[in-house]
Structure 1
Amino acid sequence: MRDRFLTGLIGYPIAHSAAPAMHEQAAAVLGIHCHYQLIEVKGAGRDDLRAMLEGVRRLGFAGVNVTFPYKEAVVDLLDDLAPDARAIGAVNTIVVDGVRLVGHNTDATGFVRAIEPLLGSAPRGPIALIGAGGVGKAIAFALAGLGVAGIRIFDADAAKAAQLAGQLRDRHAVHATSVATAVDGAAGLVNATPVGMLPSRDTPVPDALLHSSMWVADAVYTPLWTPLLTAAKAKGASVLTGRDLAINASADAFKLFTGLAPSHVAMGNAFDAVMAARYSPPA
């Protein structure tokens, strides 16, 4: 059995990522070695991405994760796509299968497990999704698969929101023309944009639109308590930080890279240690 793995992450900015700690700790608990390399490249064009992926293919990587802003850009540079990634049109995990690069999407599977407990205890109603980029697409498909009452999608790029809504029109997804339209009467709200990720201290949704009868989830985890979640908590809303999505998505990627099921507890402990060293939750 293979006992050494080289994996990594392509994106920008990623210096804050907890992924190296999670993957390397999960491997240690299993008695194997994993080196998780951050490949931080700003403004990579198509040729740059192709060159990086060729390096992944040739340099002994088991695979790499992909994050903002490249989850959609890598799709047509790969040799094959898993069915979920093909449907979503975004990839966050690339597995080296021999000489082939195969794209997967563990954002979707990770989000399903993260959100199910919250959905189970919340009133049924439409969900507002802010952001139709790579992670937004995955979350939209995850929500649709869970059978939510409807999805209202807003993105600053109206064409992206309209395209995603069109992909899921048979699942009661619609393009919202404003944040206010998306949120009005929604049972839940998901931020799938990088707004609120440090160094940004902005919020994708004005505080006045938040209220106690909704739940609010944020895909951002740096910091865990984004301005959006802090405001939602102050309004009495149920909230979900990006912690569980990050851990679940990483665990699913680890299994794809290694063929081994990681300890979620070990990955969670590693994630929490990284967060504790950087951030403190609100009082």
Structure 2
Amino acid sequence: MRDRFLTGLIGYPIAHSAAPAMHEQAATALDAHCHYQLIEVAGAGRDDLRAMLEGVRRLGFAGVNVTFPYKEAVVDLLDELTPDARAIGAVNTIVVDGTRLVGHNTDATGFARAIAPLLATKSRGAIALIGAGGVGKAIAFALAGLGAGEIRIFDADAAKATELADQLQGGVAARSVATAVDGAAGLINATPVGMLPNRDTPVPDTLLHPAMWVADAVYSPLWTPLLSAANAKGATVLTGRDLAINAAADAFALFTGMTPPVAVMGNAFDAVMAARYSPSA
């Protein structure tokens, strides 16, 4: 087993990412060393992504994470996909296995663990999912795996919402925002809307009410405009914290072969958030 690991993240924008702190401090806690490199590239086309992935293959990386907007774009550039990643059609973790690049999806496993306690305590009902991109796909499959009965999907690109609904089939339908949220027990934002510097909300405040729960995949900031509005309405809210930590822990295990110290990764995440959003920051 190696005790030094080169990993990283491909995406844009990613300067806000807490991933370097989580991965590097997790390795330190296990008497190993990890360097987690942010690979921030805007507007990367297919050839750009292919070149970056070839660098990952050749430069000694154990693997890389992939985030917005490239989770779907990298899929057919890889040598292999796990069955779950293939079904979802999006990849957020790429492991270097010899000379092969293998795509995984730890958004799905991470979100399933994050949302399970909330679903266990709330009455089951329709769930409105806003966003059918890479993270939206992972969340939809996680919900289906947890036995969510009815999933209503909205995306600004209606064709993407319909495609995801067709992938999942039973109990899933593409909707407008209003019809997705109307009467829903829960609401999940799986878009980058609300991620700094953006301060918009994907759902009008008028559609929020105290009887629902609202979750956001965005964690920069933890309290997005959507969650702040939902909290003000008296709804139960779930920030992107646990999704981020769980997804990172699963990726760390894949990169290193080590059992991730989840508490250490959580503390690292919290420290990054506290430093970034403290009054003096």
1:264 aligns with 2:250: no
Question: Structure 2 matches for 1:19-58, cutoff 5 A?
Answer: 19-58=19-58
1:123 is displaced (CA, Å) by 1.1
Residue type at the aligned position of 1:79? D
**Counterpart in the other structure of 1:118:** 118
1:169 is displaced (CA, Å) by 1.1
Q: How far apart in 1 are the matches of 2:182 and 2:121?
A: 20
Q: Secondary structure at the match of 2:230?
A: helix
Aligned positions, number: 279
1:53 is displaced (CA, Å) by 0.1
Per-residue CA shift, 1:24-74, capped at 9, x if unaligned? 000000000000000000000000000000000000000000000000000
**Counterpart in the other structure of 1:274:** 272
Q: How far apart in 2 are the matches of 1:196 and 1:280?
A: 19
1:280 is displaced (CA, Å) by 5.2
Question: Structure 2 matches for 1:199-238, cutoff 5 A?
Answer: 199-238=197-236
CA pair 223-159 structure 1, distance change in 2 beyond 3 A: same
Residue type at the aligned position of 2:119? L
Q: Secondary structure at the match of 1:246?
A: helix
**Counterpart in the other structure of 1:97:** 97
CA pair 123-280 structure 1, distance change in 2 beyond 3 A: farther
**Counterpart in the other structure of 1:11:** 11
Q: Secondary structure at the match of 1:94?
A: strand
1:130 is displaced (CA, Å) by 0.1
> Is there any run of 5+ residues in structure 2 with no aligned partner, and where?
none
1:279 is displaced (CA, Å) by 1.7
1:273 is displaced (CA, Å) by 0.3
**Counterpart in the other structure of 2:133:** 133
Q: Secondary structure at the match of 2:35?
A: strand
Per-residue CA shift, 1:256-277, capped at 9, x if unaligned? 0000011110000000000001
Q: How far apart in 2 are the matches of 1:81 and 1:260?
A: 21
**Counterpart in the other structure of 1:61:** 61
Residue type at the aligned position of 2:273? M
Residue type at the aligned position of 1:174? A
RMSD: 0.8
Per-residue CA shift, 1:69-119, capped at 9, x if unaligned? 000000000000001000000000000000000000000000000000100
1:254 aligns with 2:246: no
Q: Secondary structure at the match of 1:216?
A: strand
Q: How far apart in 2 are the matches of 1:243 and 1:280?
A: 17
Q: Secondary structure at the match of 1:86?
A: helix
Q: How far apart in 1 are the matches of 2:24 and 2:267?
A: 12
CA pair 215-280 structure 1, distance change in 2 beyond 3 A: farther
TM normalised by structure 1 equals: 0.98
